[in-house]
Amino acid sequence: MKKSTLINSELSYVVATLGHTDELTICDAGLPIPDHVKRIDLALTHGVPSFLETVRVILSESQIEGVIIANEFAEVNPAHYQALIKELEMEMEVTGKAITVTSITHEAFKARTHQSRAVVRTGECTPYANVIFQAGVVF
């Protein structure tokens, strides 16, 4: 049995196969997911798993160098936005590597998900709780 944090086999496989600059989207329960992009549906019920729980697990398992979020996230959902920024700051402190945060419109964000290797749907039911992680390298 796998010993590390991430035990979901589909998600573990995607994380293990990410190359430098590949993108992985973590989204709330309502974000539309493009048909051609791999869907990893973790949603069990409203709020389970949460956006932040899922973000923490992905950060514990992968090196991230960039983050893309919607402009609206900070305005409409400031609590989750601030919590995400705090998680990113803690990750930078642990790894000693910078993580660039880029904000785009929500419409542009939805279009950008078409480039993702996979979209991970959580049970989060708060608006704009979505992030695209860009894979970095550990060296």
CATH number at residue 122: 3.40.1650.10
Structural domain total, the chain: 1
Q: Supply the range of the domain harboring residue 80.
A: 20-135
pLDDT at 97: 96
Domain annotation covers residue 9: no
pTM of the model: 0.96
Domain annotation covers residue 51: yes
Looking at the annotation, which residues are catalytic? 20
**CA–CA dist 139, 137 (Å, integer):** 6
Domain annotation covers residue 12: no
Angle of helix 9-17 versus helix 51-61 axis, rounded to 10: 50
pLDDT at 32: 98
- Closest among 65, 80, 53 to 24, alpha carbons compared: 65
User: Over the chain (139 residues), what is each successive 10-residue block's mean pLDDT?
Assistant: 83 96 98 98 97 97 97 97 98 96 98 98 98 95
**CA–CA dist 62, 78 (Å, integer):** 25
